[in-house]
C-alpha cells in the first residue's frame, strides 16, 4: 500500500509492503552514485541487497547506538561523498533505525545544499515515527538533536519483513512511540493495544506477576498485528505533519513524553536506555493516574521501563536545553483522557516535580 504525505514543502510516498527492500531497485531512482548509510546492528544483507540495485553504491556503516549520532559521523558521511565525487544529482539512502535516518538525512540536507534522500527504516521505532516527517539531526555536547534540519525524504520504504530480525527489546521501544500516538490521538488504537497484550487463555495471570517484566512479551501477537500498528501510527503522523510540518503547534503533540524522555536519554550512560524506553518513562508523569495505570499494564507486558535511577538535577539541567524551551518555559503535553491532549507551558519547578515521579 502507498500512503502519500503532503507536508508544506514537498509531497512523497510511503510504500508499506512486505518485501519492498528487495524491490528497492524498482521503487527508487538508484542509477547514480548512492551513499548507503547503515549501522553495525543492521544485518549486512539489507545494505548489500540495496547496493546490488545501485549503479555506483558506497556503503558507510556507523556504530550502533545514539552516541554515534554525532558531528564526527556527520562529517564522515560528507567527506565520503566529497571524496567519491558525489554531485547534486546523486543521493543518500538510510537503511537502519532512527539514528541512521537522522544522520543520513541531515548529511543529505547539507551536502551541496541538499541532495535526494530516501529512507528504508529497519526498526519499528523508525517505521512508525522517525522515518517520516523530515526531522533530521545530530546530537551535540550531550544534548539530543540541537543541530539539524527539516528535510523531507523523496520516498520511504517500509518493509515489515525486516522486523523479523529485530530483538524484542527494540520492538518494545518502537511500540512506545506507537503508544504515544494512541494515547494522544486515538482511543480506539489504544484499546487495540490493550487487546493484543492481554494474556492469552491458559496463561496464569498470578504467575505472570512473579516473572521478570517482559518475560511474557507477547511477540506472536505483536508480529501478527505489526502492519496494523505501523499503518495506524503512520496515518496519525501523516495527519499531524501535513497540518504542521515545522512544529509550530500541533506537531508538538508528537513530543508527548519526550521532554523528560530526552532529559533521561541525555543523562543515562551511553546507549543504556533506548530512545523509545526513555519516551515510555517520560509519558507516565504527563498522564492522569487512571491512564498511567493502563499504560503500566501495557509496559509490564512489553518489558518497558517505568522509572530509572539517575541524578535528578542532571536530568532537569538537560531538559533546560531542550529545543522546545522558550523564555525559560517548555511546552509540555499532558492528557487525562485517552485520545486527547492538552498543551501547557511548564517552568523548571513544575518539570522537576514531574521528572521526580520517574527519576529516582
To ligand GLY, the closest distance from the beta carbon of 29 in angstroms equals 25
Local structure of residue 27 (DSSP, 8 states): H
275 is a catalytic site residue: yes
To ligand GLY, the closest distance from the beta carbon of 27 in angstroms equals 23
177 is a catalytic site residue: yes
To ligand GLY, the closest distance from the beta carbon of 206 in angstroms equals 38
How many CA atoms does the CB half-sphere of 225 hold within 13 Å? 17
Catalytic residue among 66, 69, 119, 135: 135
262 is a catalytic site residue: yes
Contact 184, 339 (CB under 8 A): yes
225 is a catalytic site residue: no
- CA 113 to chain CA centroid, nearest Å: 25
Nearest to 256 by CA among 226, 276, 227, 229: 276
Which residue number, 159 or 247, has a Cβ lying nearer to ligand GLY? 247
H runs (alpha helix) in 186-257: 187-197, 205-210, 219-224, 226-243
265 is a catalytic site residue: no
Catalytic residue among 33, 170, 237, 301: 237
Q: How many CB atoms lie under 10 A from the CB of residue 347?
A: 11
10 is a catalytic site residue: no
Catalytic residue among 66, 245, 247, 334: 247
To ligand GLY, the closest distance from the beta carbon of 5 in angstroms equals 12
Which residue number, 41 or 133, has a Cβ lying nearer to ligand GLY? 133
Nearest residue to ligand GLY, by Cβ distance, number only: 254
User: To which H or E segment does residue 264 belong?
Assistant: helix 258-267
- The radius of gyration of the chain from alpha carbons, rounded to an integer in Å, stands at 20
258 is a catalytic site residue: yes
Q: What share of the chain is helix, strand, coil (3-state, %, to 5)?
A: 50, 20, 30
**How far is residue 24's CA from residue 178's CA, in Å, rounded to a whole number?**
26
247 is a catalytic site residue: yes
Which residues contact ligand GLY by CB under 6 A?
A: 129-130, 133, 135, 251, 254
- CA dist list (Å): 168 to 203, 216, 318: 20, 11, 29
To ligand GLY, the closest distance from the beta carbon of 129 in angstroms equals 5
- CA dist list (Å): 82 to 35, 87, 90, 119, 346: 11, 8, 11, 21, 45
Cell of 252: 508538538
To ligand GLY, the closest distance from the beta carbon of 232 in angstroms equals 16
**How far is residue 292's CA from residue 287's CA, in Å, rounded to a whole number?**
6
321 is a catalytic site residue: no
294 is a catalytic site residue: no
Which residue number, 238 or 354, has a Cβ lying nearer to ligand GLY? 238
Which residue number, 276 or 305, has a Cβ lying nearer to ligand GLY? 276
Catalytic residue among 70, 119, 145, 255: 255
Which residue number, 133 or 305, has a Cβ lying nearer to ligand GLY? 133
Catalogue the active-site residues: 113, 135, 177, 237, 247, 251, 255, 258, 262, 275
Amino acid at each position: 500500500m502507498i500512503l502519500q504525505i503532503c507536508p508544506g514543502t514537498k509531497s512523497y510516498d510511503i510504500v508499506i509492503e512486505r518485501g519492498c527492500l528487495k524491490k528497492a531497485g524498482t521503487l527508487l531512482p538508484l542509477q547514480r552514485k548512492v551513499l548507503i548509510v547503515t549501522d553495525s546492528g543492521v544485518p549486512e544483507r539489507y545494505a548489500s541487497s540495496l547496493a546490488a540495485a545501485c549503479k555506483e553504491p558506497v556503503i558507510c556503516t556507523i556504530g550502533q547506538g545514539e552516541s554515534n549520532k554525532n558531528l564526527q559521523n556527520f562529517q564522515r558521511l560528507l567527506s565520503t561523498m566529497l571524496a567519491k565525487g558525489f554531485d547534486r544529482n546523486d543521493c543518500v539512502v538510510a537503511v537502519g533505525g532512527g539514528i541512521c535516518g537522522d544522520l543520513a538525512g541531515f548529511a543529505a540536507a547539507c551536502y551541496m545544499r541538499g541532495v535526494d534522500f530516501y529512507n528504508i527504516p529497519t526498526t519499528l521505532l523508525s517505521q512508525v515515527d522517525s522515518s517520516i516527517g523530515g526531522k533530521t539531526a545530530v546530537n551535540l555536547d550531550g544534548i539530543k538533536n540541537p543541530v539539524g534540519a527539516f528535510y523531507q525524504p523523496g520516498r520511504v520504504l517500509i518493509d515489515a519483513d525486516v522486523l523479523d530480525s529485530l530483538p524484542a527489546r527494540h520492538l518494545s521501544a518502537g511500540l512506545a512511540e506507537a503508544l504515544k500516538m494512541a494515547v494522544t490521538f486515538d482511543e480506539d488504537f489504544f484499546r487495540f493495544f490493550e487487546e493484543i497484550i492481554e494474556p492469552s487463555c491458559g496463561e496464569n495471570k498470578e504467575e505472570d506477576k512473579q516473572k521478570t517484566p517482559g518475560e511474557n512479551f507477547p511477540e506472536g501477537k505483536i508480529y501478527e498485528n505489526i502492519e496494523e500498528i505501523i499503518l495506524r501510527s503512520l496515518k496519525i503522523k501523516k495527519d499531524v505533519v501535513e497540518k504542521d510540518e515545522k512544529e509550530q503547534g500541533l506537531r508538538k503533540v508528537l513530543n508527548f513524553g519526550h521532554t523528560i524522555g530526552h532529559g533521561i536519554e541525555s543523562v543515562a550512560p551511553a546507549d543504556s536506555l533506548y530512545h523509545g524506553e526513555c519516551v515510555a518513562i517520560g509519558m507516565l508523569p504527563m498522564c492522569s493516574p487512571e491512564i498511567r495505570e493502563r499504560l503500566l499494564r501495557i509496559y509490564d507486558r512489553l518489558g518497558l521501563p517505568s522509572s530509572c535511577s539517575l541524578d535528578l538535577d542532571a536530568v532537569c539541567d538537560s531538559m533546560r536545553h531542550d529545543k522546545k524551551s522558550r523564555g525559560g518555559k517548555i511546552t509540555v503535553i499532558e492528557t487525562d483522557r485517552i485520545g486527547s491532549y492538552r498543551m501547557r507551558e511548564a517552568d523548571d519547578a513544575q518539570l522537576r516535580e514531574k521528572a521526580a515521579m520517574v527519576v529516582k
